[in-house]
Chain A
Amino acid sequence: MIIDGVTTASFDELVEIETDDGERRLGKVLEIGNGKAVVQVFEGTTGLAITGTRVKFLGKTMAMPVSQELLGRVFDGLGRPNDGFPDPVADKFLDVNGEPMNPQSREYPTSFIQTGVSVIDGMLTLVRGQKLPIFSGSGMPHNILAAQIARQATVVGTNEDFAVVFAAIGVQYSEAQYFKRSLEESGALRRSVLFVNLADDPAIERIITPRVALTVAEYLAFDLGMHVLAILTDMTNYAEALREISAAREEVPGRKGYPGYLYTDLANNYERAGRLKGKNGSVTQMPILSMPADDITHPIPDLTGYITEGQIVLGRDLFRKGIYPPVNVMMSLSRLMKDGVGEGKTRSDHMEVGNQLYDAYSRAQEVRALAEIVGKAGLTGVDLKYLDAGDSFETHFLKQSPDENRNLDETLSRAWDILATLPEGELTKIKDKHIQQYYKANK
């Protein structure tokens, strides 16, 4: 929407639009100059006419009222209550765009979060203040996994305030409901804040949804000292909304029609995770995105992977085999694992076991491919052991039920069960000390 005759508006300012019949909508200034302002209308332009529409510049940028009372509430994609209760009393108003965290003021993330999911705790450890996305595909159980993590995540041996901020971005009603129910059933809803922008809500609103959610997450973490897990689903819808606006503004497109600033824009959201020196709380982010046609090189997962600290990739093959969670460990990675595990944090053999499992499963995959050509008969003894180890990795370690909460000791002992089936000489990534302690004990 372009408005003429503007003299005093400023860039990024919030705009209130009143239609002929008195309906009010919000928007913000994208471009201003020469008496004209380009305004992005959050609730869409349906029903707006050239004549009769009034516009008021509000003189402030978009802000979210925040207070402790937000916990347990449900909001729409723009941060307005939609659970039938009145507006919460605001403690203060915060600009939804936030400000970049100073790298000098960041505290490097090192505390291990136990999610109770073996494959994550054992091989893709989540650390407080990390941003670890789930790359999924349509139909795969990313929501079940995210909900399980939200219910089970704890930092062992502490009893600190924990909160969940959930932003549904253009998702189906049933998915949003699933999350809400899941949090309700586990009693976690009263320490959660939900933002819901459904698939049939205006696409443009989706630009704001993760921003209001992360503003609240930052407030809870750094003002109230809570440990916040922020789940954003589905970032693909967010990027598509961004593309829609960019196309409407006739900008020069980058790859696949997405704007050239997609990386910067995504980073402005993802980088709002972390810990700060001298502050108690933390924001841990778990964005979920569905890879269009399961293609990890598509711009959305690709740019996300460049920003986030690792990724959990769900695999179609494992999903078809009926394995939950269907995590493709070879493509997955947690960059901060090395800093969150080991002596004094988890267990001294943790990292080595994780590396050795990767190694073993990778060999198992190679042997599987080979067995398809030459048949099992053509394999050597060690190769056959790897073949079995690969199978038991999937059934004994990877697979677990969505309501099964395994502690770290159980996870690692399952890992050793698998490693114990391999000859000792194959465990090249494990120090002798741990072989003595765990491998021999398992024999």
Chain B
Amino acid sequence: MVAKGKIVWVSGPAVRADGMSSVKMYETVEVGESKLIGEVIRLTGDVAFIQVYESTSGLKPGEEVVGTGQPLSVLLGPGIIGRIYDGIQRPLDDIAEKSGAFIGRGITTSPVDMKKKFKFNPTVKKDDTIFGGSILGTVEETPLLTHKILVPPIFPEATITEIVKEGDYDLEDVIGQANSKNGDKIGLKMYHKWPVRKPRPYAERYDPTVPLVTGQRIIDTYFPIAKGGTGGIPGGFGTGKTVTLHQIAKWADSQVVVYIGCGERGNEMTEVLVEFPHLIDPRSQRPLMERTVLVANTSNMPVAAREASIYTGVTIAEYYRDMGYDVVLVADSTSRWAEALREMSGRLEEMPAEEGYPSYLASRLAEFYERAGRIRALGSPDRSGSVTIVGAVSPSGADFTEPVTTHTIRFIKTFWALDTRLAYSRHYPSINWMQSYSGYLEDISKWWKENVSPDWYDLRAESYHILQREDTLKEIVRLLGPEALPDEEKLVMEVARMLKIGILQQNSFDKVDTYCSPVKQLKLVRLMVKFYKESQKALKEGKSLADIRALPIITTLLKAKFEVTDEQISKLDEIDKQLSDSFKGDIEEVKVSV
């Protein structure tokens, strides 16, 4: 039965309607004459509390509210990749076509083009048994991505009675028939719907043991994140959150990227739209847009849709995970999502917890981050996929003790703390290496040892130890001046400076430096550690620190990150040799070609 009620009260995005006794919690409803889209978030008697995803300006008590019988869902099928959606999966280009450059209200569009033909290639045949989540066939969605057509996750065991031949079909075409065990005939299509607030089921969950390679040295080498893992990146404004997230979205070695712009700047989404079609994936030589989905609900778009955008994004991510892909989900920024929760909670007149945020903020954050993971998908054939979630946090006043940051830290395993002071001195990425941590270090070190080099773990630890020592020595220098330190410790300061410039700092806008392969990362770190050891030895042998500081090899080491491209990686071995030569014999006399 369709619920039909009348508006009794309006305040901003919150609307109360009575006569709604047959409506369900989280059901989508059409509000008012202009049929604004809303969702039921509380029921008291026959009064429904509705959050409306569009501006409620001009809405009157007495106007009709009609239930749709459906929870808020996304449509999952080929045609999603490369699109930009608002918080409730309406394509922004269709909206622009219907209402011009400014976003109008009450617009209904289909998330994907239902009339577009895709070349379907069946992988099942008659009499095959299928389950929920099984793959029926493939469609080339973009040259970069083969879309696997999935049976909806909740589906009875059934036998295929009919499947179409290879050919062009649109989304509404029936591509096959199946008979379930109790005799039901079920038509199969290339898409299905899934409610956004419900995590998609999987067969089994694996431990995250494979790193997500991002090509960013401070992330991959020092604070790595695993495929299927969770990471948080809090930072005040101007610390480069968005640039870091863009870097991850660009270079991460995943097959699909879902980028959620949640309550952020309009121009940032435009930047992604302008830039990504021209950026070439280093592994496949295809434009990055061919693996990217954008969900954009900018800060000036309706606040309730901002709350939904996170769920819309993560559900799309899970769908591609179920095909057996590694998906990265980037959410910028979860603080704005939390603010949307706070605003709705305030309008519902709920009892606030810290700073006006609702008491369920922590559990909502936990639910969201728990949707990350590396899993074995349902159905046949056997396959595994992952969703990695990276969330930006925008703490007010760059204060990491505020509720959204403190709660987020509890549910993530990799923490990249952005530092305002580093950003002020233009040290980018401004990830503070003393505050950040990664809980995946032990899990993924095996991958590095097997795929890159056995000494990875030790090199990382040795170089990190230098940075740690510098951090304590810095305090002494601040009080007593640099001359108060013995030469050995001055050397630590010098090498730490080199690590900061040559390894930690990475220029996202430099053609070479923007992406650094794992092998290059390792070799660069190895060079720095070797320089430190050789210098230590030279000092013990009575050489002066001034001579070491004057070595021309230092400039070579500092510039190697952007002078040596990944193609000519062997140049780093030549530098290694030069480094050894620099310390041979009397160091002043050695001439080094730079």
A contact set with B: CB distance below 8 Å: 7-13, 30-34, 61, 95, 97-109, 129-130, 222, 251-255, 259-261, 263-264, 267-268, 271-272, 274, 276-277, 279, 297-299, 302-303, 305-307, 309-311, 330-331, 333, 336, 338-339, 355, 358-359, 362, 370, 373-374, 378, 425, 428
Interface string of B98-111 (1 = CB under 8 A from A): 00111110000000
Given contacts A99-B104, A103-B296, A302-B398, 16 further A-B contacts (CB under 8 A): A8-B60, A10-B59, A11-B59, A11-B60, A32-B11, A99-B103, A100-B103, A100-B266, A102-B96, A102-B102, A105-B101, A251-B346, A254-B356, A277-B101, A307-B265, A428-B559
| Closest chain B residue, CB of each to CB of A295 | B397
The verdict on A102 contacting B267 (CB below 8 Å), with A8-B60, A264-B339, A302-B396 known, is no
Question: Which residues does chain A contribute within 8 Å of B92, judged by CB atoms?
Answer: 102-104
List B contacts of A358 (CB < 8 A): 426
**A31–B9 CB distance below 8 A:** yes
Cα(A95)–Cα(B58), bound, Å: 12
Choose among B61, B424, B558 the residue with the greatest number of A CB atoms under 10 Å from its CB: B61
7 contacting pairs across A/B (C-beta < 8 A) = A253-B356, A264-B300, A298-B397, A307-B265, A378-B483, A425-B555, A428-B501
- Contact present for A362 and B426 (CB under 8 Å): yes
B46-102: which residues lie under 8 A (CB-CB) from chain A? 55-62, 84, 92-93, 95-96, 100-102
> Which among B60, B96, B237, B343 has the greatest number of chain A C-beta atoms within 10 A?
B237
User: A100 contacts B301, CB within 8 Å?
Assistant: yes
Select which of B12, B238, B394 is within 8 A of A310 by beta carbon: B238
Residues 317-353 of B, flagged 1 when their CB comes within 8 A of A and 0 if not, give 0000000000000000000100100110110000010
B300 near A268: Cβ-Cβ < 8 Å: yes
B356 touches A252 (CB 8 A): yes
Q: B481 at the A/B interface (Cβ < 8 Å)?
A: yes
CA distance A433 to B9 in the complex (A): 67
B214 at the interface (CB under 8 A from A): no
Point out the residues of chain A lying under 8 angstroms from B266, CB to CB. Answer: 100-101, 103, 106, 271, 274
* CB of A166 to closest CB in B, whole Å: 22
Q: How many residues of B contact A (CB 8 A)?
A: 71
Find out whether the CB atom of A260 lies under 8 angstroms from the CB atom of B10.
no
* Docked complex Cα distance between A277 and B270 (Å): 11
- 8 Å CB contact of B16 from A33, A106, A251: A33
C-alpha spacing A213/B509, complex, angstroms:
36
Contact B61 A32 (CB under 8 A): yes
Q: In the complex the two chains form, is A13's CB within 8 Å of B58's CB?
A: yes
Q: For B336, what are the chain A residues with a Cβ–Cβ distance below 8 Å?
A: 263
B355 & A264 in contact (Cβ 8 Å cutoff): no
B298 at the interface (CB under 8 A from A): yes
Q: Is the CB–CB distance between A11 and B57 below 8 Å?
A: yes
Q: Which residues of A contact B345 (CB under 8 A)?
A: 252
A261 contacts which chain B residues (CB < 8 A)? 12, 303, 339, 343, 346
User: Do the beta carbons of A260 and B102 come within 8 Å of each other?
Assistant: no
Asked whether, in the complex, the Cβ of B339 is within 8 Å of the Cβ of A260, the reply is yes
Chain B residues within 8 Å of A355, by CB: 426
A260–B346 touching, CB < 8 Å: yes
Minimum Cβ distance to chain A for residue B44 (Å): 14
| Cβ–Cβ contact A222 & B101, under 8 A | yes
Contact B339 A10 (CB under 8 A): no
Once the chains are docked, how many angstroms separate the CA of A161 from the CA of B577? 62
The reply to whether A331 and B270 contact each other, CB–CB distance below 8 Å, is no
* Inter-subunit contact A61/B481 (CB<8 Å): no
What B residues does A61 contact at CB under 8 A?
Answer: 57-58
Shortest beta-carbon distance from A12 to chain B in Å: 4
Kindly list chain A residues whose C-beta atoms are within 8 Å of the C-beta of B303.
Answer: 261, 264
CB distance from B276 to the nearest CB of A (A): 12
State A102–B296 Cα separation when bound (angstroms): 10
Considering the complex, give the chain B residue whose CB is closest to the CB of A296: B397
Q: Which of B16, B101, B273, B559 contacts A276 (CB 8 A)?
A: B101
Q: 1/0 per position for B352-368, CB-CB distance to A under 8 A?
A: 10011000000000000
Please give the distance in Å from B556's CB to the nearest CB on chain A.
12
Residues in B neighbouring A101, C-beta threshold 8 A: 101-103, 266, 300
Interchain CB contact under 8 A, B10 and A11 = yes
Q: State the CA gap A277–B92 with chains docked (Å).
A: 14
CB < 8 Å neighbour of A252 from B263, B267, B352: B352
A362 touches B425 (CB 8 A): yes
Q: Which residues of A contact B61 (CB under 8 A)?
A: 32-34
Question: Could you tell me the distance between the alpha carbons of A34 and B10 in the complex, rounded to whole angstroms?
Answer: 10
B:241-281 near A, CB below 8 Å:
261, 263, 265-267, 269-271, 273-274
Which residues of B have CB within 8 Å of A104?
Answer: 84, 92-93, 95-96, 270, 273
Chain B positions within 8 Å of A, measured between CB atoms, are 7-12, 16, 55-62, 84, 92-93, 95-96, 100-104, 236-238, 261, 263, 265-267, 269-271, 273-274, 296, 298-301, 303, 336, 339, 342-343, 345-346, 352, 355-356, 394, 396-399, 424-426, 479-483, 501, 509, 555, 558-559
- Tell me if B's interface is mostly helix, strand, loop or mixed: mixed
Report yes or no: A305 in contact with B339, Cβ–Cβ below 8 A: no
Q: In whole angstroms, how far apart are the Cα atoms of A276 and B355 in the complex?
A: 38
How far does the alpha carbon of A370 sit from the alpha carbon of B342 in the complex, in Å? 46
Q: How far is the CB of A382 from chain B (nearest CB, A)?
A: 11
Taking a contact as CB atoms under 8 Å apart, the answer to whether A252 and B10 are in contact is no
Q: Tell me which of B10, B237, B342 contacts A254 (CB under 8 A).
A: B342
Q: In the bound complex, what is the Cα–Cα distance between A279 and B100 (angstroms)? A: 12
Q: Known contacts A31-B11, A105-B96, A106-B270: does B57 contact A97 (CB below 8 Å)?
A: yes
- CA of A31 to CA of B349, assembled, Å: 14
Residues in B with CB closer than 8 Å to A378 are 481, 483
Q: Are A297 and B300 in contact (CB under 8 A)?
A: no
Whether A99 contacts B102 by the Cβ 8 Å rule is yes
How many whole Å from A10's CB to the nearest CB in chain B? 4
List of B residues within 8 angstroms of A274 by Cβ: 266-267
Q: In the complex, are the beta carbons of A10 and B58 less than 8 A apart?
A: yes
In the complex, the chain A residue whose C-beta lies closest to that of B555 is A425
Nearest Cβ in chain B — how far from A221, in angstroms?
Answer: 11
Contacting pair B298 A252 (CB below 8 A): no
Residues of the B chain whose Cβ atoms lie less than 8 Å from the Cβ of A95: 57
Bound CA–CA A359/B303 (angstroms): 40
CB–CB B299/A271 < 8 A: yes
Q: A107–B270 contact, CB under 8 A?
A: yes
A297 and B7 CA atoms in complex are apart in Å by 41
- Asked whether, in the complex, the Cβ of A109 is within 8 Å of the Cβ of B426, the reply is no
Whether the pair A103, B269 counts as a contact (CB closer than 8 A) is yes
Quick one: which of B8, B266, B509 has the most chain A CB within 10 A?
A: B266
* Contact present for A267 and B299 (CB under 8 Å): yes
CB-based contact A297/B399 at 8 Å: yes
Q: How far is the CB of B52 from chain A (nearest CB, A)?
A: 10
Bound Cα distance A329, B103 (Å):
37
CB distance from B564 to the nearest CB of A (A): 16
Bound-state Cα–Cα, A30 to B265, Å: 27
Task: Chain B residues near A9: list those with CB within 8 A.
Answer: 60
Contacts of B339 in A (CB 8 A): 260-261, 263-264
Instruction: With both chains docked as a complex, state the minimum distance between the C-beta of B320 and any C-beta of chain A, in angstroms.
Output: 22
Nearest first, the 10 A-B pairs at minimum CB distance are A33-B9, A297-B397, A267-B299, A305-B237, A271-B300, A99-B102, A103-B269, A105-B101, A374-B481, A12-B57
Beta-carbon contact of B267 and A359 below 8 Å: no
> Which B residues are in CB contact (< 8 Å) with A279?
101
Contact, CB under 8 Å: B481 / A373: yes
| Bound CA span A108–B272, Å | 10
- Nearest A-chain residue to B8, judged by Cβ: A33
A95 to B61 CA separation, bound complex (whole angstroms): 21
A103 to B480, CA, bound (A): 53
Contact B101 A32 (CB under 8 A): no
Q: Min CB distance, B494 to chain A, in Å? A: 13
Given A305-B238, A306-B394: A100 touches B356 (CB 8 Å cut-off): no
With a cutoff of 8 Å between Cβ atoms, the chain B residues found around residue A255 in the complex are 355, 396
Residues from chain A with a CB closer than 8 A to the CB of B60 are: 8-11, 32
Q: Which of B84, B261, B339, B480 has the most CB of A within 10 A?
A: B339
Tell me if B9 and A32 are in contact (CB < 8 A): yes
CA distance A55 to B302 in the complex (A): 30
